[in-house]
Structure 1
Amino acid sequence: MTRFLPAFIAACTLGGSAAWAGADDAFVEFRSLKPEVALQMAQAAMDSCKEQGFQVGVTVVDKSGVPQVYLRHRFAGSHVYETSYRKAWTAVSFRTNTTDLAATTQAGMPASGIRELSLALPLGGGMMVQDGDGALVAGIGVSGAPGGDADDLCAQAGIDAIADAIAF
């Protein structure tokens, strides 16, 4: 048996590496929103807030947190650029809507250290955008409404506006 062991190990190693190479090539494929769809979502979120009398900024980021679209109501404060971007970035980075993250990162919670990161902003208004299969395709951040719950409603209106386009 021991004389066949080296040949057996070599056969297993070669067979295993061939299977491994076929299953894991050099490329990663993923979905990302077209700029036109990201713009449509941002506009719908802005319009929803505007209808409620809120002056906001809206940022859409891709699944890596890179900005795709930024819209700002002409009377929104200058802070909405940074906060809407950071909310969208936080949602995609932690794969969690920021309202949920706000609760789990409170002082004394195991994830409270997230609040020490320079870009993380666990305040309501940042939401993940998922396709029909549940895969993360973007994030949206809204800032400027009176409270994170109102920002969330506007962000959700943006997502709802493109739901048919991203569902399978």
Structure 2
Amino acid sequence: MNFGSKTIYTAFVLVSLTARAGADVVSENQVSAKDAVQAAQAAVDKCRSDGYDVSAAVVDKSGNIKAFIRADGASPHTIDSSRKKAYTAISLRRPTSFYAKLIQENPENAALKDMNDSILILGGGLPIEMNGEPVGGIGVGGAPGAQFDEACAAAGISAITAK
């Protein structure tokens, strides 16, 4: 093979490999960093207006943190609880209060809380959906009741879905 033929052959192989690699790419919608920050801030603001110092975490579809805000005065435990609630909501694709109620009514399902160290079965976590597709989760911790955490998480979602 001469130099010109080798060059053409090498170019052909590289183009073939590039085309093949592109065929395996998966495209998924995710909550954007901008929306994650906006949702977390709206959740903290809602709780603050109700008199609660909380933390709010937003995770992407894979459960990785996209945004986190801890209000002045929020207790240290709220850091982990908000993240775990967000993770649980997107991982299990339902509000964390759903699973808390499920376990309360059906104790045989209690093993759900032990599936993973990042699971927290306590109200305050909600999945975030855009166009009917799950894109992330939001969790709030620190209010004096799970229903208040969940209301603040809902305010966070409303801030980014009402656009």
Q: Alpha carbon RMSD of aligned pairs, Å?
A: 1.4
Q: What SS does the aligned partner of 1:105 have?
A: helix
Instruction: Tell me which residue corresponds to 2:114.
Output: 116
Q: What SS does the aligned partner of 2:159 have?
A: helix
**Mapped partners of 2:108, 2:30: distance in 1:** 32
Instruction: Tell me which residue corresponds to 1:138.
Output: 136
What is the one-letter code of the residue matched to 1:127? L
Question: Which runs of structure 2 are paired with 1:14-29 in the superposition (5 Å)?
Answer: 25-29=23-27
**Mapped partners of 1:105, 1:115: distance in 2:** 9
Aligned residues: 140
TM-score, reference length from structure 2: 0.81
More helix by share: 2
Q: What SS does the aligned partner of 1:145 have?
A: coil
Unaligned 5+ segments in structure 1 are 1-24
Question: Which runs of structure 2 are paired with 1:82-121 in the superposition (5 Å)?
Answer: 82-106=80-104, 108-117=106-115, 118-121=117-120
> Percent of counterpart pairs with the same letter?
38
CA deviations on 1:17-38 (whole Å, 9 max, x unpaired) are xxxxxxxx52221111221111
- How much has 1:109 moved relative to structure 2? 4.0
Counterpart of 1:55 (choices 53, 56, 71) is: 53
Unaligned 5+ segments in structure 2 are 1-22
CA deviations on 1:46-99 (whole Å, 9 max, x unpaired) are 100000000000000001100011100110000000000000000111111100
Does the C-alpha gap of structure 1 residues 136 and 87 become closer, same or farther in structure 2, counting only changes over 3 Å? same
Contact 2:31-2:61 within 8 A present in 1 as well: no
CA deviations on 1:86-134 (whole Å, 9 max, x unpaired) are 00000111111100011123385453211123221111100000012x1
Instruction: Tell me which residue corresponds to 1:68.
Output: 66
- How much has 1:164 moved relative to structure 2? 3.1
**Mapped partners of 2:60, 2:123: distance in 1:** 19
What is the one-letter code of the residue matched to 1:126? G
**Mapped partners of 1:155, 1:55: distance in 2:** 13
Q: What SS does the aligned partner of 2:104 have?
A: coil
